[in-house]
């Protein structure tokens, strides 16, 4: 209940900001870019990915340190293979956007991400750290195949004069989604840990499993939206 008042205030302020920006000739964020459907679709996909990605960056340390009782150093090492993979694959993903069918590449990347999320959702108290490393690395591979191409596609669907506004809106919304995702998934873990239900396993682990299951559902929504993406550029 304590969070209701700030939430309501935030919604009111957001509504006021949108109304203000829509009515001025030179807005801080030009929300008129939302009239381009093929900009909106990749934006929504990216926001959902931000929820799962940034939430995951918090969940992994909780899993490794609080459930498996390993050190912060081991927690960092768990994320290292995925980070290294991102370093080498990221430069290639933009090249793949020009060379291969964009929509199929996004769907393949999202499908890989789902596999990794489902693996992590099946983590048990007897699972090894290596199991978590594999699941996290698979997730990272899927993400890196999607993030840069989906961003490039969003901006390419705007007329040239609207691209700077589209970049500003896109980056703002992804940061909002990242903040929301972290709060949402951590809240699920916290609520589960503070419940009085006997789960017959670590209550934080139950919350983590629920969080990864929710992430998988978000990725399924992303795939459904990805089928509606078009390759043709929007004209003025």
pTM of the model: 0.85
In terms of domains, do 15 and 109 share one? no
Q: What is the pLDDT of residues 19-58, one digit of tens each?
A: 777 777 777 778 888 888 889 999 999 999 998 888 778 8
Taking each helix axis from N to C terminus, what angle separates 102-121 and 203-226, rounded to the nearest 10 degrees?
170
The residue-averaged pLDDT of 196-221 equals 83
Q: Work out the pLDDT band at 115, boundaries 50, 70, 90.
A: very high
| Residue 234 clears pLDDT 60, i.e. is over it | no
- The number of distinct structural domains making up the chain is 2
Max Cα distance, the chain (Å): 60
pLDDT at 196: 57
In terms of domains, do 208 and 118 share one? yes
Whichever domain contains 64, its CATH number is: 1.20.1250.20
Decide if 232 is inside a domain: no
Q: What is the mean pLDDT of the chain?
A: 84
Decide if 75 is inside a domain: yes
Task: With residue 121 as reference, give the H or E element that holds it.
Answer: helix 102-121
Q: Are 145 and 219 in contact (CB under 8 A)?
A: no
Decide if 236 is inside a domain: no
pLDDT at 153: 87
In terms of domains, do 166 and 101 share one? yes
Decide if 192 is inside a domain: yes
Identify the domain containing residue 97 by its residue range: 36-226
In terms of domains, do 124 and 58 share one? yes
Decide if 127 is inside a domain: yes
Q: What is the pLDDT of residues 176-202, one digit of tens each?
A: 888 888 888 888 888 887 775 666 667
Measured from the Cβ of residue 214, the count of other Cβ atoms closer than 10 Å reads 18
Q: What is the pLDDT of residues 93-107, one digit of tens each?
A: 767 767 777 888 889
């Amino acid at each position: 209940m304590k969070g209701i008042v700030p939430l309501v205030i935030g919604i009111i302020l957001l509504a006021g900001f949108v109304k203000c920006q829509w009515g001025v000739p030179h807005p801080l964020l030009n929300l008129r870019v939302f009239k381009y459907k093929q900009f909106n679709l990749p934006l929504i996909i990216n926001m959902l990915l931000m929820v799962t990605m940034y939430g995951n960056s918090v969940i992994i340390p909780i899993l490794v340190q609080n459930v498996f009782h390993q050190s912060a150093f081991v927690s960092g090492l768990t994320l290292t293979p995925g980070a290294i993979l991102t370093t080498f694959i990221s430069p290639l993903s933009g090249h793949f956007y020009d060379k291969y069918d964009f929509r199929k590449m996004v769907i393949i990347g999202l499908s890989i991400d789902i596999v990794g999320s489902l693996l992590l959702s099946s983590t048990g108290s007897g699972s090894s750290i290596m199991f978590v490393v594999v699941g996290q690395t698979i997730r990272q591979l899927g993400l890196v195949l999607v993030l840069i191409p989906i961003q490039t596609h969003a901006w390419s669907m705007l007329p040239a004069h609207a691209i700077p506004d589209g970049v500003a809106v896109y980056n703002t919304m992804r940061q909002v989604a990242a903040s929301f995702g972290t709060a949402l998934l951590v809240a699920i873990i916290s609520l589960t840990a503070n419940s009085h239900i006997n789960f017959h396993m670590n209550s934080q682990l139950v919350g983590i499993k629920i969080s990864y299951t929710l992430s998988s559902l978000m990725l399924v929504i992303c795939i459904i939206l990805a089928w509606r993406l078009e390759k043709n550029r929007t004209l003025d």
